[in-house]
Amino acid sequence: MMALNSIQMQVRDRVEKSRDDIIQFMREIVAIPSMDSRIGPVGERIGAEMRKLGFDEVRFDVMGNILGRIGSGPRVMVFDSHIDTVGIGDPAEWSFDPFQGKIENGILYGRGACDEKGSTPGMVYGLAIARDLGLLEGWTVYYFGNMEEWCDGIAPNSFVEVDPKVRPDYLVIGEPTKMNVYRGHKGRIEMKVTAKGRSAHAASNHLGDNAIYSLLPVIAGIRDLEPSLGDDPFLGHGKITVSDMRVQTPSINAVPDEAVIYIDRRMTFGETREAAIAQVEALIPAELRDRVKVEALFYDEPSYTGFVFPVDKYFPAWALAEEHPLVQAGLEVRQGMGLTPAPAGKWNFSTNGIYWAGKAGIPSIGFGPGDEETAHTVLDCVPIDDMVRATEFYALLPYSLKNKI
pLDDT digits (tens, 9 = 90+) for 16-70: 999 999 999 999 999 999 999 999 999 999 999 999 999 999 999 999 999 999 9
Contact between 242 and 219 under an 8 Å Cβ cutoff? The reply is yes
> At a CB cut-off of 8 Å and minimum separation 6, what does 10 contact?
133
Distance separating alpha carbons of residues 319 and 298, to the nearest angstrom? 25
Q: Which residues are catalytic?
A: 84, 148
Question: pTM of this prediction?
Answer: 0.95
pLDDT of residue 102: 85
pLDDT of 1 strictly over 60: no
The one-letter amino acid at 68: G
Q: List, in sequence order, every beta strand (DSSP E) within 306-345.
A: 311-312, 314-315, 318-319
Distance separating alpha carbons of residues 83 and 97, to the nearest angstrom? 19
Q: What is the mean pLDDT of residues 331-353?
A: 95
Q: List, in sequence order, every beta strand (DSSP E) within 268-312.
A: 292-296, 298-299, 311-312
Banded model confidence at residue 6, pLDDT cuts 50, 70, 90:
confident
| Per-residue model confidence as pLDDT tens digits over 101-117 | 789 999 999 999 999 99
Indicate the helix (H) or strand (E) that contains 191. Answer: strand 187-196
| Per-residue model confidence as pLDDT tens digits over 87-105 | 999 999 999 999 987 899 9
| Per-residue model confidence as pLDDT tens digits over 69-82 | 999 999 999 999 99
Q: Express as a percent the part of the chain with pLDDT over 70.
A: 99
Q: What is the mean pLDDT of residues 387-403?
A: 97
Mean of pLDDT over the chain:
96
Q: Express as a percent the part of the chain with pLDDT over 90.
A: 96
pLDDT of residue 2: 62
CA trace torsion 31, 111, 49, 61 (10° rounding): -120
| Per-residue model confidence as pLDDT tens digits over 292-315 | 999 999 999 999 999 999 999 999
Helix (H, G, I), strand (E, B) or coil at 173: strand
Question: Strand 66-70 and strand 57-60: pairing?
Answer: antiparallel
- What pairs with residue 258 in β-bridges? 196, 248
Question: Strand 239-248 and strand 236-237: pairing?
Answer: unpaired
pLDDT of 331 strictly over 80: yes
Going from the N-terminus, what domains does the chain have, and what CATH number goes with each?
4-185+317-402 (3.40.630.10), 187-299 (3.30.70.360)
DSSP structure class, residue 254: B
Closest CA relative to residue 177, chosen from 36, 58, 346, 335: 346
| Per-residue model confidence as pLDDT tens digits over 217-270 | 999 999 999 999 999 999 999 999 999 999 999 999 999 999 999 999 999 999
pLDDT of residue 175: 97
Q: What is the mean pLDDT of residues 170-190?
A: 97
3-state secondary structure 46-76: HHHHHHHCCCCEEEECCCCCEEEEECCCCEE
